[in-house]
Structure 1
């Protein structure tokens, strides 16, 4: 599927974009972009009840936390050591959400891949808000546009290596298995694993046979995030996929599967900033937020702050430096 403006729909009520960025309804009007926000509300449902579950409201909920996470992009941010964009001319846009079609439930994945490819062709870093954890599948597939081997960084309480559930092979229990089948995906790091989830022995064996690096949450806490960063090879092209339940529920309570002892905010901040500095982060998604279960918007604010750390550190690392003659 080729990119067409009708693949996208406008953000819903309140803030129309993340971090006060420009809402662009037609990417064909652009000749370049630095950062592009994209909502992908709909996954590949296992049952009819999951077609429009509460996670489909998460892109809107995260956008609405903009003014709690970033009061103004000109203000000093102590996580970054200065304003978000560091006074630079950064072109950040919000593309809105991938439109769903009740008559063709698989079309939105094809649309998502087409839109992400268009973002990459414009030179942009895609920041994706799900939706359930199936939605990174078309995003990761689109990354072959870069012509680089992708190191996948997966934050989650769960392994997500199921072959299928109810005959569905691209749902929220299967994104890492599907990514492992993509020729442009290399090393896989799965961080924050804990408790008892969907994985059976077969899925664990499949992950280990691939060579996935499994980092349980207790190991992360015992050894420290700095030790983990040292193990991840330098100079990689990293894509970060973050399931909200991989993060500790004290700061991301709005999830269907809360598990104690998750990745902390400070660990995520250091992980994101460390990956930016050691190679090239080519994109990031945050998925599995269930807004009705949120408390004082803390889950949505936390998601925003993860994006803030990626954007602000990437700006300072020179990701978006361009020749002066580029418009």
Structure 2
């Protein structure tokens, strides 16, 4: 059942000082819900009335952008190690897995983030000294580099080619967020519940005070014509001072405006994760969990003036 509550990436040095993280790493956002007082959201989430026609195993050429004035600022095709990313260890509030760096790895030129049935003992939350037993593991990684639609680079295009994870309890997440959440903003490029992989949700957040999101109506579900877990699709988001434009397989899906201008000049790191459980699931039943893998061919960032 679709719910207005959902999981946001927790993948950084929670409860640990910023200096303990790798250079340019930003602290993670806390848990929110679209319907709770913390998020300031509404009790229901709109669904796009248009079903976007997608193309199985769609690919993207850099020249689509570079021939039109865009410059590539980040490119990870996962042919080597994960030195462009920070992986973290520990649990997340309202989720049932322990994030383990070993669950994120590059295999044959792609990133694989795997949720596994695995008994481990680890930090209750990332950065905590308290330990607990977990029955599941997964992974959460964040880019070393940060990005911003700003005076210097008024437009930023974030691109990922991914095959999302299928299975009850899983949520494939690709987003960006800044330090001292949400004062530097957060953008959700895609979030796909493993129990319904024919739609994905988008969202964004901002607030002038720590842990207080003031954006309302930022979240939307977008139905698509094919199963996002059956093959690869290209997700693109154009971030400018006035809008967030979301594309799938080269087609414009939705445009957000509203408070997007408040994200201008806010530095954000990229995040990829595969949480198990969490607020994305209504009346979550741990006994029904199905493990799976999020596959990512590449992540690219382009800027333009």
Same fold (TM over 0.5): no
Of the two structures, which has the highest relative contact order with CA contacts closer than 8 Å and spacing of 6 or more?
A: 2
- Report the TM-score when normalising by structure 2: 0.29
Greater share of residues in strand? 2
Greater share of residues in helix? 1
